[in-house]
Amino acid sequence: MRAKYSYTHFIMYKPYSPEWHRYRYLKEAIDTYFDDYVDNEVIYEDLMHILGSRMSSAVEEVNKVMDLKDKLKHN
């Protein structure tokens, strides 16, 4: 059985700073999942899909840069 605990630590950012906005948007998104009683498996799958998409985009960007470097090397 999982132990119950109280999580009282919170992150304090300067109001309206970029960090504050990022935190707020993330919190609102997570709160929406929980408020809508979304199953944890769906939350997990959505997070994995978002991270996978981001990773694919990063790999494409790296490949583009490597292709350019190869062209510059051969010219």
Residue with tokens 């694919």: 56
Token couple for 25:
């948007």
- Domain boundaries along the sequence of the chain: 38-75
The whole-number pLDDT of residue 75 equals: 81
Residue 66's contacts (CB-CB under 8 Å, 6 or more residues apart) are none
The whole-number pLDDT of residue 3 equals: 67
Rounded to whole angstroms, how far apart are CA atoms 53 and 70? Answer: 26
pLDDT tens column, 1-52: 666 766 656 678 898 999 999 999 999 999 999 999 999 999 999 999 999 9
pLDDT tens column, 42-73: 999 999 999 999 999 999 999 999 999 999 99
Rounded to whole angstroms, how far apart are CA atoms 15 and 35? Answer: 25
DSSP-derived letter for residue 11 is: -
